[in-house]
Amino acid sequence: MTTPRRVRIHVRGRVFDATRRDNPAARSFVDQLALTVPFTDYGGQEKIAPLPRPLAMTGMPAGDHAERLDIGYYATGGVLVLYYTDVAYYRGIARLGHVHATVDDLKDILDGAVATIELTPDHHS
């Protein structure tokens, strides 16, 4: 049996679907779901939220770049990241998936907004 690849983010009455990558960090993230976390803006480029425990980084590259609408993990800070701008390569970035939203949707998440993140069933035709 495979781990579901779809994730749903609920924040302030909005719902965003996301697709996770198939890598050790993303599987470790799924193991923490469902969870509720507060997001804050960081650097005018991303929204960050603390995770209850670190994600598995064994087998992951030492770092990565992030693209707009990526869901990531910044291992150095132990935070979940929703990127609304492209970010250059940084050591400690792990790409977990992609959120199906607009850049403005992510920018509009207010500091302190609490989000619930959960798995959704994969749909097969």
Residues 31/12, Cβ–Cβ less than 8 Å? no
- pLDDT, average across residues 66-93: 97
Q: Which pLDDT band holds residue 1 (cuts at 50, 70, 90)?
A: very low
Q: What percent of the chain has pLDDT over 70?
A: 94
For the chain, domain boundaries: 6-120
CATH number (3.90.79.10, 2.40.100.20, 1.20.1370.10, 3.30.43.10) of 6-120 reads: 2.40.100.20
Average pLDDT, the chain: 93
Task: Please tell me the predicted confidence (pLDDT) of residue 62.
Answer: 97
